[in-house]
Amino acid sequence: MVIDDDRFVDSRITFEDDTELSLKDVLLERFLTPLVESMPAILKDQAIPDSAPTSAIFYGAPGTSKTQLAAIVADALGWPLLKLDPSHLTRMGLDRLHAETYHLFSMLGAAERVVVLLDEFDELVREREAPNEALSRFLTTAMLPKIAALKERRKLILLLATNHLEVFDSAIARPGRFDMIVPVQPPSLEAKLRRWTAVKQQAAALEIDFSSDTRLDEWLADLTYAEFKSIASHLEMARTKQAFRDYAARAWDNCTLQSTGPGDKNWRDRIKDERRKIRLPGLLQDGSHSSPQ
Angle between helices 241-253 and 225-237 (to 10 degrees): 160
Gyration radius (Cα) of the chain, Å? 21
Pick the range with the lowest mean pLDDT from 13-22, 33-42, 70-79, 278-287.
Answer: 278-287
Confidence (pLDDT) at 170: 65
Sign (positive or negative) of CA dihedral 26, 28, 32, 36:
negative
Taking each helix axis as running N to C, give the angle between helix 97-108 and helix 144-153, from 0 to 180 degrees, rounded to the nearest 10.
Answer: 0
β-pairing verdict for 157-162 and 180-183:
unpaired
> Could you read off the pLDDT of 214-267 as tens digits, one per residue?
999 999 999 999 999 999 999 999 999 999 999 999 999 999 999 876 667 889
> What are the pLDDT digits (tens) for 191-227?
999 999 999 999 999 999 999 999 999 999 999 999 9
In sequence order, the β-bridge partners of residue 183 are 59
Which among 180, 170, 110, 112 has a CA at the least distance from the CA of 139?
Answer: 170
Task: Give the predicted TM-score (pTM) of the model.
Answer: 0.87
Q: For the chain, what's the residue count?
A: 293
Q: What domains can be seen in the chain, in order of their start residue?
A: 12-185+263-277 (3.40.50.300), 189-253 (no CATH)
Q: Which helix (H) or strand (E) holds 82?
A: strand 81-84
| Segment 153-193, tens digit of pLDDT | 999 999 999 888 876 666 666 767 789 999 999 999 999 99
